[in-house]
Chain A
Protein backbone atom coordinates (compact mmCIF):
# COMPACT_ATOMS: atom_id res chain seq x y z
CA UNK A 1 0.00 0.00 0.00
CA UNK A 2 1.06 3.54 -0.65
CA UNK A 3 1.90 6.08 2.01
CA UNK A 4 1.61 9.85 2.09
CA UNK A 5 4.55 12.22 1.67
CA UNK A 6 5.05 15.30 3.82
CA UNK A 7 7.50 17.93 2.56
CA UNK A 8 8.52 20.71 4.94
CA UNK A 9 10.74 23.66 4.06
CA UNK A 10 12.65 21.83 1.36
CA UNK A 11 15.51 23.75 -0.25
CA UNK A 12 17.91 22.41 -2.86
CA UNK A 13 20.99 23.75 -4.60
CA UNK A 14 23.03 22.83 -7.65
CA UNK A 15 26.39 24.41 -6.98
CA UNK A 16 25.38 28.01 -6.30
CA UNK A 17 22.01 27.71 -8.06
CA UNK A 18 19.17 27.72 -5.57
CA UNK A 19 16.95 25.34 -7.58
CA UNK A 20 14.24 24.70 -4.97
CA UNK A 21 13.08 27.29 -2.48
CA UNK A 22 10.97 26.60 0.59
CA UNK A 23 8.76 23.86 -0.77
CA UNK A 24 5.94 22.75 1.55
CA UNK A 25 3.29 20.25 0.57
CA UNK A 26 1.44 17.11 1.45
CA UNK A 27 1.19 14.39 -1.20
CA UNK A 28 -1.75 12.08 -0.35
CA UNK A 29 -1.38 8.31 -0.30
CA UNK A 30 -2.73 6.13 -3.11
CA UNK A 31 -3.36 8.96 -5.48
CA UNK A 32 -1.51 10.34 -8.45
CA UNK A 33 -0.05 13.79 -7.97
CA UNK A 34 1.13 15.69 -11.02
CA UNK A 35 3.82 18.37 -10.97
CA UNK A 36 3.70 20.82 -13.85
CA UNK A 37 5.67 23.89 -14.82
CA UNK A 38 7.98 25.22 -17.52
CA UNK A 39 11.29 23.43 -18.00
CA UNK A 40 13.94 24.39 -15.51
CA UNK A 41 11.35 25.24 -12.84
CA UNK A 42 12.67 22.66 -10.39
CA UNK A 43 10.02 19.93 -10.68
CA UNK A 44 12.55 17.24 -11.64
CA UNK A 45 14.88 18.30 -8.86
CA UNK A 46 11.94 18.07 -6.50
CA UNK A 47 11.14 14.43 -7.26
CA UNK A 48 14.83 13.58 -7.12
CA UNK A 49 14.84 14.95 -3.58
CA UNK A 50 12.08 12.50 -2.65
CA UNK A 51 14.37 9.48 -3.08
CA UNK A 52 17.65 11.27 -2.43
CA UNK A 53 18.83 10.83 -6.00
CA UNK A 54 19.55 14.55 -6.02
CA UNK A 55 22.63 14.05 -3.89
CA UNK A 56 24.25 11.60 -6.33
CA UNK A 57 25.53 14.72 -8.03
CA UNK A 58 28.54 15.93 -6.03
CA UNK A 59 27.68 19.63 -6.34
CA UNK A 60 24.10 19.17 -5.13
CA UNK A 61 22.86 20.05 -1.62
CA UNK A 62 19.51 19.73 0.19
CA UNK A 63 18.00 21.08 3.43
CA UNK A 64 14.59 20.58 4.96
CA UNK A 65 12.44 17.62 5.90
CA UNK A 66 10.80 14.96 3.76
CA UNK A 67 8.63 12.41 5.54
CA UNK A 68 7.52 9.32 3.63
CA UNK A 69 4.91 7.56 5.73
CA UNK A 70 6.46 8.07 9.16
CA UNK A 71 10.06 7.92 7.97
CA UNK A 72 12.07 11.13 7.86
CA UNK A 73 14.24 10.26 4.86
CA UNK A 74 17.00 12.79 5.55
CA UNK A 75 17.22 11.95 9.26
CA UNK A 76 16.28 8.35 9.91
CA UNK A 77 17.57 6.38 6.95
CA UNK A 78 20.29 5.81 4.42
CA UNK A 79 19.71 6.68 0.76
CA UNK A 80 19.86 3.01 -0.19
CA UNK A 81 16.98 2.07 2.14
CA UNK A 82 14.84 4.94 0.93
CA UNK A 83 15.30 4.10 -2.71
CA UNK A 84 13.99 0.61 -2.05
CA UNK A 85 10.77 2.11 -0.71
CA UNK A 86 10.55 4.80 -3.37
CA UNK A 87 10.75 3.54 -6.95
CA UNK A 88 11.67 5.82 -9.80
CA UNK A 89 11.03 5.86 -13.55
CA UNK A 90 13.18 8.18 -15.62
CA UNK A 91 12.51 10.44 -18.56
CA UNK A 92 14.28 8.22 -21.06
CA UNK A 93 13.83 4.47 -20.70
CA UNK A 94 17.06 3.09 -19.25
CA UNK A 95 16.95 -0.71 -19.13
CA UNK A 96 20.27 -2.38 -18.28
CA UNK A 97 21.61 -3.05 -21.77
CA UNK A 98 23.46 -6.27 -21.03
CA UNK A 99 20.63 -8.00 -19.17
CA UNK A 100 17.68 -10.02 -20.44
CA UNK A 101 14.12 -8.83 -19.83
CA UNK A 102 13.82 -11.19 -16.88
CA UNK A 103 17.11 -10.08 -15.35
CA UNK A 104 16.17 -6.45 -15.77
CA UNK A 105 12.99 -6.89 -13.76
CA UNK A 106 14.70 -9.07 -11.17
CA UNK A 107 17.79 -6.87 -10.93
CA UNK A 108 16.66 -4.84 -7.93
CA UNK A 109 15.82 -7.99 -5.98
CA UNK A 110 18.94 -9.87 -7.01
CA UNK A 111 21.19 -6.97 -6.15
CA UNK A 112 19.55 -6.81 -2.76
CA UNK A 113 20.32 -10.46 -2.17
CA UNK A 114 17.17 -12.39 -3.16
CA UNK A 115 18.06 -15.72 -4.74
CA UNK A 116 14.99 -17.94 -4.41
CA UNK A 117 14.10 -18.87 -8.01
CA UNK A 118 10.43 -19.49 -7.39
CA UNK A 119 9.90 -16.24 -5.56
CA UNK A 120 11.79 -14.33 -8.25
CA UNK A 121 9.79 -15.93 -11.06
CA UNK A 122 6.60 -15.02 -9.31
CA UNK A 123 7.59 -11.41 -8.69
CA UNK A 124 8.86 -10.94 -12.23
CA UNK A 125 5.60 -12.21 -13.64
CA UNK A 126 3.50 -10.10 -11.31
CA UNK A 127 5.53 -6.95 -12.00
CA UNK A 128 5.36 -7.43 -15.76
CA UNK A 129 1.62 -8.01 -15.52
CA UNK A 130 1.26 -4.89 -13.40
CA UNK A 131 3.13 -2.89 -15.98
CA UNK A 132 1.00 -4.40 -18.78
CA UNK A 133 4.02 -5.84 -20.56
CA UNK A 134 3.59 -9.51 -19.70
CA UNK A 135 1.57 -10.53 -22.74
CA UNK A 136 4.08 -8.96 -25.12
CA UNK A 137 7.26 -10.47 -23.67
CA UNK A 138 6.32 -13.65 -21.80
CA UNK A 139 7.71 -15.90 -24.55
CA UNK A 140 11.20 -14.48 -24.63
CA UNK A 141 11.77 -13.31 -21.10
CA UNK A 142 15.27 -14.69 -20.93
CA UNK A 143 16.08 -14.70 -24.63
CA UNK A 144 15.77 -11.04 -25.45
CA UNK A 145 17.82 -8.21 -24.01
CA UNK A 146 15.97 -5.31 -22.43
CA UNK A 147 17.47 -3.00 -25.01
CA UNK A 148 15.84 -4.91 -27.88
CA UNK A 149 12.34 -3.76 -26.97
CA UNK A 150 10.64 -0.72 -28.47
CA UNK A 151 10.82 2.60 -26.61
CA UNK A 152 7.37 2.27 -25.07
CA UNK A 153 8.01 -1.34 -24.05
CA UNK A 154 11.34 -0.34 -22.54
CA UNK A 155 9.62 2.28 -20.42
CA UNK A 156 7.06 -0.28 -19.19
CA UNK A 157 9.96 -2.63 -18.49
CA UNK A 158 11.52 0.11 -16.36
CA UNK A 159 8.23 0.49 -14.52
CA UNK A 160 8.14 -3.27 -13.92
CA UNK A 161 11.71 -3.09 -12.66
CA UNK A 162 10.73 -0.36 -10.22
CA UNK A 163 7.61 -2.25 -9.09
CA UNK A 164 9.51 -5.49 -8.48
CA UNK A 165 11.18 -4.10 -5.35
CA UNK A 166 7.66 -3.46 -4.03
CA UNK A 167 7.96 0.26 -3.30
CA UNK A 168 5.36 2.37 -1.51
CA UNK A 169 5.85 5.38 -3.71
CA UNK A 170 6.49 5.55 -7.44
CA UNK A 171 8.19 8.66 -8.84
CA UNK A 172 7.87 9.25 -12.56
CA UNK A 173 10.00 11.94 -14.13
CA UNK A 174 8.30 12.77 -17.44
CA UNK A 175 7.88 9.08 -18.17
CA UNK A 176 6.19 9.59 -21.53
CA UNK A 177 8.08 12.53 -22.96
CA UNK A 178 10.29 10.32 -25.13
CA UNK A 179 7.43 8.12 -26.34
CA UNK A 180 4.91 8.09 -29.19
CA UNK A 181 1.20 8.80 -28.52
CA UNK A 182 0.14 5.12 -28.41
CA UNK A 183 2.83 4.21 -25.88
CA UNK A 184 1.97 7.35 -23.94
CA UNK A 185 -1.66 6.34 -23.57
CA UNK A 186 -0.59 2.88 -22.43
CA UNK A 187 1.58 4.45 -19.73
CA UNK A 188 -1.29 6.69 -18.67
CA UNK A 189 -3.66 3.70 -18.42
CA UNK A 190 -1.02 2.03 -16.32
CA UNK A 191 -0.80 4.96 -13.95
CA UNK A 192 -4.53 4.68 -13.47
CA UNK A 193 -4.21 1.01 -12.59
CA UNK A 194 -1.29 1.47 -10.25
CA UNK A 195 -2.84 4.24 -8.18
CA UNK A 196 -4.74 1.79 -6.05
CA UNK A 197 -1.53 0.22 -4.80
CA UNK A 198 1.05 2.99 -4.87
CA UNK A 199 1.42 6.67 -4.22
CA UNK A 200 2.40 8.14 -7.56
CA UNK A 201 4.20 11.40 -8.20
CA UNK A 202 4.47 12.27 -11.86
CA UNK A 203 6.40 15.14 -13.38
CA UNK A 204 5.09 16.27 -16.73
CA UNK A 205 5.01 19.31 -18.92
CA UNK A 206 2.04 17.96 -20.81
CA UNK A 207 -0.90 19.61 -19.08
CA UNK A 208 -3.51 17.34 -20.64
CA UNK A 209 -1.65 14.41 -19.21
CA UNK A 210 -1.74 15.92 -15.75
CA UNK A 211 -5.46 16.58 -16.13
CA UNK A 212 -6.08 13.00 -17.27
CA UNK A 213 -4.20 11.02 -14.64
CA UNK A 214 -3.80 13.07 -11.47
CA UNK A 215 -6.07 13.88 -8.53
CA UNK A 216 -3.79 16.64 -7.31
CA UNK A 217 -1.57 19.00 -9.26
CA UNK A 218 1.24 21.28 -8.17
CA UNK A 219 2.49 24.16 -10.30
CA UNK A 220 6.20 24.99 -10.08
CA UNK A 221 7.82 28.20 -11.27
CA UNK A 222 11.43 29.33 -10.84
CA UNK A 223 12.16 26.94 -8.01
CA UNK A 224 9.04 27.73 -6.01
CA UNK A 225 5.73 25.96 -5.74
CA UNK A 226 3.19 28.51 -6.80
CA UNK A 227 0.03 26.53 -6.24
CA UNK A 228 -0.99 23.07 -5.09
CA UNK A 229 -4.58 21.92 -5.24
CA UNK A 230 -6.95 19.40 -6.72
CA UNK A 231 -6.35 18.95 -10.42
CA UNK A 232 -9.85 20.05 -11.22
CA UNK A 233 -9.40 23.33 -9.37
CA UNK A 234 -5.99 24.04 -10.91
CA UNK A 235 -7.24 23.60 -14.43
CA UNK A 236 -10.61 25.32 -14.09
CA UNK A 237 -10.24 27.95 -11.42
CA UNK A 238 -6.63 28.53 -10.30
CA UNK A 239 -6.23 30.97 -7.47
CA UNK A 240 -2.86 32.35 -8.64
CA UNK A 241 -2.52 34.58 -11.70
CA UNK A 242 0.74 32.89 -12.76
CA UNK A 243 -0.88 29.46 -12.77
CA UNK A 244 -3.68 30.77 -14.91
CA UNK A 245 -1.20 32.32 -17.35
CA UNK A 246 0.66 29.06 -17.61
CA UNK A 247 -2.31 26.73 -18.14
CA UNK A 248 -3.87 29.07 -20.65
CA UNK A 249 -0.61 28.97 -22.59
CA UNK A 250 0.57 32.54 -22.12
CA UNK A 251 4.08 31.32 -21.35
CA UNK A 252 6.01 28.13 -20.86
Chain B
Protein backbone atom coordinates (compact mmCIF):
# COMPACT_ATOMS: atom_id res chain seq x y z
CA UNK B 1 0.00 0.00 0.00
CA UNK B 2 2.58 2.48 1.17
CA UNK B 3 4.98 1.92 -1.70
CA UNK B 4 2.12 2.07 -4.20
CA UNK B 5 1.17 5.43 -2.86
CA UNK B 6 4.77 6.57 -3.05
CA UNK B 7 4.93 5.59 -6.72
CA UNK B 8 1.69 7.39 -7.41
CA UNK B 9 2.92 10.52 -5.71
CA UNK B 10 6.13 10.25 -7.74
CA UNK B 11 4.10 10.06 -10.94
CA UNK B 12 2.10 13.10 -9.91
CA UNK B 13 5.22 15.08 -9.25
CA UNK B 14 6.70 14.02 -12.56
CA UNK B 15 3.52 14.92 -14.47
CA UNK B 16 3.57 18.29 -12.81
CA UNK B 17 7.16 18.83 -13.84
CA UNK B 18 6.48 17.65 -17.38
CA UNK B 19 3.48 19.95 -17.75
CA UNK B 20 5.49 22.89 -16.47
CA UNK B 21 8.27 22.01 -18.89
CA UNK B 22 5.82 21.85 -21.81
CA UNK B 23 4.31 25.20 -20.94
CA UNK B 24 7.75 26.78 -20.78
CA UNK B 25 8.72 25.07 -24.04
CA UNK B 26 5.67 26.40 -25.87
CA UNK B 27 6.42 29.87 -24.58
CA UNK B 28 9.92 29.59 -25.99
CA UNK B 29 8.55 28.28 -29.30
CA UNK B 30 6.21 31.27 -29.52
CA UNK B 31 8.87 33.82 -28.69
CA UNK B 32 11.49 32.27 -30.99
CA UNK B 33 9.86 33.08 -34.36
CA UNK B 34 9.13 36.61 -33.24
CA UNK B 35 12.71 37.18 -32.24
CA UNK B 36 13.83 35.53 -35.50
CA UNK B 37 11.56 37.77 -37.55
CA UNK B 38 12.67 40.91 -35.76
CA UNK B 39 16.37 40.21 -35.79
CA UNK B 40 16.31 39.30 -39.47
CA UNK B 41 14.11 42.25 -40.33
CA UNK B 42 16.31 44.74 -38.54
CA UNK B 43 19.49 43.20 -39.94
CA UNK B 44 18.26 43.10 -43.55
CA UNK B 45 16.24 46.28 -43.37
CA UNK B 46 18.85 48.48 -41.75
CA UNK B 47 21.54 47.38 -44.19
CA UNK B 48 19.25 48.24 -47.12
CA UNK B 49 17.92 51.55 -45.91
CA UNK B 50 19.38 54.68 -47.45
CA UNK B 51 18.38 58.23 -48.13
CA UNK B 52 17.32 57.17 -51.63
CA UNK B 53 14.69 54.94 -50.11
CA UNK B 54 12.85 57.98 -48.78
CA UNK B 55 13.45 60.34 -51.70
CA UNK B 56 13.41 58.36 -54.98
CA UNK B 57 10.72 56.50 -56.85
CA UNK B 58 11.22 52.91 -58.11
CA UNK B 59 13.59 52.23 -61.00
CA UNK B 60 12.36 50.05 -63.89
CA UNK B 61 12.65 46.30 -63.33
CA UNK B 62 16.20 44.98 -63.32
CA UNK B 63 17.87 48.34 -62.79
CA UNK B 64 19.41 48.87 -59.39
CA UNK B 65 18.79 51.79 -57.07
CA UNK B 66 15.57 53.70 -56.62
CA UNK B 67 13.41 54.06 -53.54
CA UNK B 68 9.87 53.98 -52.28
CA UNK B 69 9.14 57.68 -51.81
CA UNK B 70 5.97 57.43 -53.88
CA UNK B 71 4.79 54.41 -51.87
CA UNK B 72 5.30 56.24 -48.58
CA UNK B 73 3.32 59.23 -49.83
CA UNK B 74 0.74 56.88 -51.33
CA UNK B 75 0.28 55.10 -48.03
CA UNK B 76 -0.16 58.48 -46.36
CA UNK B 77 -2.90 59.43 -48.84
CA UNK B 78 -4.67 56.09 -48.43
CA UNK B 79 -4.49 56.33 -44.65
CA UNK B 80 -5.82 59.89 -44.70
CA UNK B 81 -8.87 58.75 -46.69
CA UNK B 82 -9.42 55.71 -44.50
CA UNK B 83 -9.06 57.71 -41.28
CA UNK B 84 -11.51 60.31 -42.54
CA UNK B 85 -14.05 57.52 -42.97
CA UNK B 86 -13.19 55.13 -40.18
CA UNK B 87 -12.42 57.38 -37.23
CA UNK B 88 -15.53 59.62 -37.04
CA UNK B 89 -17.95 56.77 -37.72
CA UNK B 90 -16.11 54.46 -35.33
CA UNK B 91 -16.02 57.02 -32.52
CA UNK B 92 -19.69 57.88 -33.08
CA UNK B 93 -20.61 54.21 -32.89
CA UNK B 94 -18.53 53.80 -29.74
CA UNK B 95 -20.23 56.80 -28.13
CA UNK B 96 -23.60 55.29 -28.91
CA UNK B 97 -22.61 51.93 -27.41
CA UNK B 98 -21.21 53.42 -24.20
CA UNK B 99 -23.43 56.45 -23.58
CA UNK B 100 -26.82 55.89 -25.14
CA UNK B 101 -27.33 52.25 -25.88
CA UNK B 102 -25.88 50.69 -22.75
CA UNK B 103 -27.69 47.44 -22.05
CA UNK B 104 -30.13 47.74 -24.95
CA UNK B 105 -30.68 44.98 -27.48
CA UNK B 106 -29.68 47.30 -30.32
CA UNK B 107 -26.33 48.02 -28.68
CA UNK B 108 -25.66 44.33 -28.08
CA UNK B 109 -26.47 43.56 -31.70
CA UNK B 110 -24.18 46.33 -32.93
CA UNK B 111 -21.35 45.29 -30.63
CA UNK B 112 -21.69 41.74 -31.89
CA UNK B 113 -21.81 42.83 -35.53
CA UNK B 114 -18.70 44.96 -35.04
CA UNK B 115 -16.82 42.01 -33.58
CA UNK B 116 -17.92 39.80 -36.45
CA UNK B 117 -17.07 42.45 -39.05
CA UNK B 118 -13.63 42.64 -37.48
CA UNK B 119 -13.15 38.98 -38.40
CA UNK B 120 -14.13 39.33 -42.07
CA UNK B 121 -10.97 38.71 -44.14
CA UNK B 122 -9.42 41.86 -45.57
CA UNK B 123 -9.39 40.38 -49.07
CA UNK B 124 -13.21 40.24 -48.94
CA UNK B 125 -13.24 43.97 -48.13
CA UNK B 126 -11.19 44.45 -51.28
CA UNK B 127 -13.67 42.49 -53.38
CA UNK B 128 -16.55 44.50 -51.91
CA UNK B 129 -14.79 47.81 -52.56
CA UNK B 130 -14.08 46.67 -56.12
CA UNK B 131 -17.73 45.82 -56.69
CA UNK B 132 -18.85 49.07 -55.06
CA UNK B 133 -16.43 51.60 -56.56
CA UNK B 134 -14.03 50.20 -59.14
CA UNK B 135 -16.42 48.27 -61.33
CA UNK B 136 -19.59 50.42 -61.71
CA UNK B 137 -19.44 53.15 -64.36
CA UNK B 138 -22.08 55.22 -62.58
CA UNK B 139 -22.81 55.29 -58.89
CA UNK B 140 -23.72 57.59 -55.99
CA UNK B 141 -20.06 57.47 -55.00
CA UNK B 142 -17.30 59.58 -56.58
CA UNK B 143 -14.29 58.29 -58.56
CA UNK B 144 -16.03 55.16 -59.84
CA UNK B 145 -15.30 53.06 -62.90
CA UNK B 146 -11.57 52.42 -62.49
CA UNK B 147 -8.82 51.56 -60.00
CA UNK B 148 -8.27 54.50 -57.67
CA UNK B 149 -6.75 55.66 -54.39
CA UNK B 150 -10.26 56.48 -53.26
CA UNK B 151 -11.48 52.88 -53.56
CA UNK B 152 -8.47 51.62 -51.60
CA UNK B 153 -9.04 54.22 -48.89
CA UNK B 154 -12.69 53.21 -48.58
CA UNK B 155 -11.76 49.54 -48.19
CA UNK B 156 -9.27 50.39 -45.44
CA UNK B 157 -11.65 52.88 -43.79
CA UNK B 158 -14.38 50.27 -43.45
CA UNK B 159 -11.85 47.97 -41.80
CA UNK B 160 -11.02 50.65 -39.22
CA UNK B 161 -14.61 51.16 -38.05
CA UNK B 162 -15.07 48.08 -35.83
CA UNK B 163 -11.73 48.52 -34.04
CA UNK B 164 -12.21 52.24 -33.40
CA UNK B 165 -15.80 51.68 -32.32
CA UNK B 166 -15.02 48.96 -29.80
CA UNK B 167 -11.97 50.66 -28.26
CA UNK B 168 -13.88 53.94 -27.97
CA UNK B 169 -16.64 52.11 -26.15
CA UNK B 170 -14.20 50.39 -23.82
CA UNK B 171 -12.43 53.63 -23.00
CA UNK B 172 -15.69 55.49 -22.34
CA UNK B 173 -16.86 52.72 -20.04
CA UNK B 174 -13.74 53.33 -17.95
CA UNK B 175 -14.87 56.88 -17.20
CA UNK B 176 -16.57 56.73 -13.79
CA UNK B 177 -20.26 57.52 -13.71
CA UNK B 178 -19.61 60.19 -11.08
CA UNK B 179 -17.97 62.30 -13.78
CA UNK B 180 -21.10 62.14 -15.97
CA UNK B 181 -23.34 62.97 -13.04
CA UNK B 182 -21.18 65.90 -12.05
CA UNK B 183 -21.52 67.35 -15.54
CA UNK B 184 -25.26 66.79 -15.77
CA UNK B 185 -25.80 68.29 -12.31
CA UNK B 186 -24.25 71.52 -13.55
CA UNK B 187 -27.09 71.85 -16.00
CA UNK B 188 -25.04 70.98 -19.03
CA UNK B 189 -26.98 69.57 -21.99
CA UNK B 190 -26.30 65.89 -22.48
CA UNK B 191 -24.49 66.24 -25.79
CA UNK B 192 -22.08 68.79 -24.31
CA UNK B 193 -21.54 66.63 -21.29
CA UNK B 194 -20.73 63.64 -23.51
CA UNK B 195 -18.39 65.51 -25.84
CA UNK B 196 -16.71 67.97 -23.49
CA UNK B 197 -16.52 65.84 -20.36
CA UNK B 198 -16.82 62.11 -20.97
CA UNK B 199 -15.11 61.87 -24.35
CA UNK B 200 -12.51 64.42 -23.32
CA UNK B 201 -11.74 62.49 -20.17
CA UNK B 202 -11.29 59.29 -22.18
CA UNK B 203 -9.52 60.97 -25.07
CA UNK B 204 -5.99 59.61 -24.50
CA UNK B 205 -7.45 56.11 -24.68
CA UNK B 206 -9.61 56.89 -27.70
CA UNK B 207 -6.70 58.44 -29.58
CA UNK B 208 -4.51 55.43 -28.98
CA UNK B 209 -7.38 53.17 -30.06
CA UNK B 210 -7.50 55.10 -33.33
CA UNK B 211 -3.74 54.71 -33.67
CA UNK B 212 -4.08 50.97 -33.20
CA UNK B 213 -6.66 50.76 -35.99
CA UNK B 214 -4.45 53.04 -38.08
CA UNK B 215 -1.43 50.78 -37.56
CA UNK B 216 -3.48 47.71 -38.47
CA UNK B 217 -4.65 49.05 -41.81
CA UNK B 218 -1.26 50.64 -42.52
CA UNK B 219 0.09 47.13 -43.07
CA UNK B 220 -2.88 45.81 -45.05
CA UNK B 221 -2.08 44.62 -48.56
CA UNK B 222 -4.89 42.33 -49.68
CA UNK B 223 -7.66 44.94 -49.93
CA UNK B 224 -5.42 47.20 -52.04
CA UNK B 225 -4.47 44.60 -54.67
CA UNK B 226 -7.41 45.43 -56.90
CA UNK B 227 -8.52 48.81 -55.60
CA UNK B 228 -5.49 51.11 -55.18
CA UNK B 229 -3.63 48.71 -57.49
CA UNK B 230 -0.17 50.27 -57.03
CA UNK B 231 1.73 52.75 -59.15
CA UNK B 232 5.38 52.98 -60.19
CA UNK B 233 5.21 56.77 -60.43
CA UNK B 234 4.33 59.78 -58.34
CA UNK B 235 0.64 60.21 -57.78
CA UNK B 236 -1.40 61.79 -55.02
CA UNK B 237 -4.69 61.97 -56.90
CA UNK B 238 -7.66 60.17 -55.34
CA UNK B 239 -8.86 59.46 -58.87
CA UNK B 240 -5.83 57.41 -59.98
CA UNK B 241 -4.15 54.19 -58.97
CA UNK B 242 -1.71 54.89 -56.17
CA UNK B 243 1.35 53.19 -54.68
CA UNK B 244 1.35 51.88 -51.12
CA UNK B 245 4.15 50.63 -48.92
CA UNK B 246 2.75 47.14 -48.20
CA UNK B 247 1.78 46.65 -51.86
CA UNK B 248 5.27 47.57 -52.98
CA UNK B 249 6.80 45.20 -50.41
CA UNK B 250 4.66 42.40 -51.81
CA UNK B 251 5.55 43.11 -55.43
CA UNK B 252 9.26 43.31 -54.63
CA UNK B 253 9.25 40.25 -52.38
CA UNK B 254 8.02 38.00 -55.18
CA UNK B 255 10.20 39.59 -57.86
CA UNK B 256 13.36 37.80 -59.01
CA UNK B 257 15.79 40.71 -58.45
CA UNK B 258 18.06 40.97 -55.43
CA UNK B 259 17.95 44.73 -55.50
CA UNK B 260 14.20 44.73 -55.19
CA UNK B 261 14.39 42.21 -52.34
CA UNK B 262 16.59 44.69 -50.48
CA UNK B 263 14.02 47.43 -51.00
CA UNK B 264 11.31 45.10 -49.74
CA UNK B 265 13.24 44.54 -46.50
CA UNK B 266 13.84 48.23 -46.07
CA UNK B 267 10.12 48.91 -46.60
CA UNK B 268 9.21 46.19 -44.14
CA UNK B 269 11.47 47.76 -41.51
CA UNK B 270 9.90 51.19 -41.97
CA UNK B 271 6.41 49.69 -41.72
CA UNK B 272 7.18 47.65 -38.64
CA UNK B 273 8.78 50.57 -36.81
CA UNK B 274 5.59 52.55 -37.34
CA UNK B 275 3.44 49.69 -36.09
CA UNK B 276 5.56 48.76 -33.09
CA UNK B 277 5.62 52.39 -32.01
CA UNK B 278 1.81 52.51 -32.18
CA UNK B 279 1.35 49.26 -30.25
CA UNK B 280 3.85 50.28 -27.59
CA UNK B 281 2.13 53.62 -27.17
CA UNK B 282 -1.25 51.95 -26.83
CA UNK B 283 0.11 49.61 -24.21
CA UNK B 284 1.70 52.46 -22.30
CA UNK B 285 -1.44 54.56 -22.26
CA UNK B 286 -3.86 51.76 -21.40
CA UNK B 287 -1.63 50.41 -18.64
CA UNK B 288 -1.52 53.88 -17.13
CA UNK B 289 -5.31 54.09 -17.28
CA UNK B 290 -7.32 56.62 -19.22
CA UNK B 291 -7.55 58.94 -16.27
CA UNK B 292 -4.27 60.51 -15.42
CA UNK B 293 -4.07 61.40 -11.78
CA UNK B 294 -7.49 60.02 -10.92
CA UNK B 295 -7.51 57.70 -7.96
Contact = CB atoms under 8 A, between A and B. Distances in A.
Interface of A: 51, 53, 56, 58, 79-85, 87-88, 90, 92, 94-98, 107-108, 111-112, 145, 147-148, 158, 161-162, 165
Nearest to B289: A97
Contacts of A161: 182, 186
A111 B196 contact: yes
B295 A51 contact: no
Given A107-B186, A111-B196, A112-B188, A97 B291 contact: yes
Contacts, number: 83
Given A111-B193, A145-B293, A148-B293, A94 B179 contact: yes
B36 to A, nearest CB: 42
Contacts of B179: 94, 96-97
A111 B193 CA distance: 8
A82 B179 CA distance: 19
Contacts of B291: 97-98, 147
17 contacts: A53-B184, A53-B185, A56-B180, A56-B181, A56-B184, A81-B187, A87-B185, A94-B178, A97-B179, A97-B293, A97-B294, A107-B186, A108-B186, A145-B292, A147-B294, A161-B182, A162-B186
Contacts of A111: 183, 186, 188, 192-193, 196-197
A165 B185 CA distance: 11
Contact of B197 (A90, A96, A112, A165): A96
B189 interface: yes
A51 B185 CA distance: 8
Contacts of B295: 147
A95 B197 CA distance: 11
Contacts of B181: 53, 56, 90, 94
Interface centre among B187, B200, B203, B293 (most CB of A within 10 A): B187
B200 A98 contact: yes
Given A111-B196, A147-B295, A90 B182 contact: yes
Nearest to A104: B182
Contacts of A51: 185
Contact of B292 (A53, A98, A112, A165): A98
A162 B180 CA distance: 14
Contact of A112 (B182, B187, B293, B294): B187
Contacts of A158: 182
Contacts of A58: 103
Contacts of A82: 187
A56 B192 CA distance: 15
B142 interface: no
A113 to B, nearest CB: 9
A165 B184 contact: no
A80 B185 CA distance: 8
Interface in B273-289: none
Interface in B175-215: 176, 178-190, 192-193, 196-197, 200-201, 203
A83 B201 contact: no
Contacts of B201: 96-98
Given A82-B187, A97-B293, A90 B192 contact: no
Nearest to B294: A97
A106 to B, nearest CB: 11
Contact of B185 (A83, A92, A96, A112): A83
Contacts of B184: 53, 56, 79, 83
B19 to A, nearest CB: 45
Nearest to A81: B187
Given A53-B184, A94-B178, A96-B197, 7 more contacts: A51-B185, A80-B188, A90-B182, A147-B294, A162-B185, A162-B186, A165-B187
Pairs A-B, 9 closest by C-beta atoms:
A84-B187, A94-B178, A83-B187, A108-B186, A97-B294, A88-B185, A147-B293, A111-B188, A97-B291
A15 B24 CA distance: 52
A97 B292 contact: yes
Contacts of B192: 111
A230 B295 CA distance: 40
Contacts of A108: 186-188
Contacts of B187: 80-85, 108, 112, 165
Contacts of A112: 186-188
B197 to A, nearest CB: 6
B186 A83 contact: yes
A177 to B, nearest CB: 14
Contacts of B190: 80
Contacts of B197: 96, 107, 111
Contacts of B294: 97, 147
A38 B226 CA distance: 69
Contact of A80 (B176, B180, B189, B200): B189
